[in-house]
Amino acid sequence: MKLYDWKVAPNPRRVRMYLAEKGIEIETVEVGEPGQARLSEAYLASNPHRIVPALELDDRTLIGEAPAICRYLESQYPEPPLLGRDPRERAIVEMWDRKCEIEGMQACAEILRNKVKAFAGRGLPGYRVPIPQIPALVDRGLVRLETFYEKLDRRLGESEFVAGDVFTGADITGFVAVEMASRGGNGIPEGCPNVARWHTAIAARPSAAA
């Protein structure tokens, strides 16, 4: 197996944290263009979806999309379980993983991609055609992010981790969302003590450096 990675991007980080939590080591190929906020032309030409991460299996099958990659890895390396220990837990983990991705990471991506000059004409990743930036999406992203922080704080007031009483992939996605937000200048709000408590705990795990 071989992982196509871009060190500065959030979705590959989900997979790297997952691998680190499992203690799996696989060949990793950095495909970012050095010093630029874009993927290399060679990689873009080789992957029809033009995004990262991607996992190449030994039979050359290319699996894209972080959750699909992690679920495949879970099937090959079941211990410790990071996506739930039974069907009910797996459903709860997947639901929260999606909440953290759609309501957290997507909000941050909206802010970043529609604001930062380096992404001019690339308001969304993966497209061959220009996707003009839409400044109004920065404001919408901020509203979404505020709602996400509130929801995450309420949830982490009920349980130690995002999907319940054990660490799972939903914590990885939530952590990556909060890290994205913080790097964009939208760190954990004062009114979210549960998020702050949880973030400190996740940041102390060795996988957070992955």
- Work out whether 65 is an interface residue with a copy of itself (CB under 8 A): yes
Q: Does 69 bind a copy of itself (CB under 8 A)?
A: yes
User: Does 158 engage in binding with a copy of itself (CB under 8 A)?
Assistant: no
63 near a copy of itself, judged by CB under 8 A: yes
Q: 77 Cβ partners below 8 Å, 6+ apart? A: 22, 24
Does residue 123 interact with a copy of itself by CB under 8 A?
Answer: yes
Take residue 30 and report the two structure tokens written for it: 């950095």
151 binds a copy of itself (CB under 8 A): yes
98 binds a copy of itself (CB under 8 A): yes
- 173-192 footprint of a copy of itself as x/- string (CB under 8 A): --------------------
Q: Which is nearer to a copy of itself, 43 or 208 (CB)?
A: 43
Q: How far apart are CA 23 and CA 111, in angstroms?
A: 33
- Among 72, 81, 189, 194, which residue sits at the site for a copy of itself (rule: CB under 8 A)? 72
The single residue among 15, 82, 105, 137 that binds a copy of itself, judged by CB under 8 A, is: 137
E-strand stretches of the chain: 2-5, 27-30, 54-56, 62-64
Contact 97, 124 (CB under 8 A): no
Task: Residue 167: name the closest of 203, 138, 143 by CA.
Answer: 203
Burial profile 164-175: b = 16 or more Cβ within 10 angstroms, e = fewer? bebbbbbbbbbb
- Binding status of residue 120 toward a copy of itself by CB under 8 A: no
Among 128, 185, 204, 209, binds a copy of itself (CB under 8 A): 128
Residue 78, exposed/middle/buried by CB under 10 A (0-12, 13-18, 19+)? Answer: exposed
Bond preceding residue 80 cis, omega within 30 of 0: yes
Report the residue from 2, 38, 85, 90 that binds a copy of itself according to the rule CB under 8 A: 90
103 secondary structure, DSSP code: I
Residues lying near a copy of itself in the complex (CB under 8 A)? 48-49, 55, 57, 59, 61, 63-65, 67-69, 71-72, 75-76, 87-88, 90-92, 94-95, 98-99, 123-124, 127-129, 131-132, 134, 136-137, 140, 143-144, 147, 151, 154
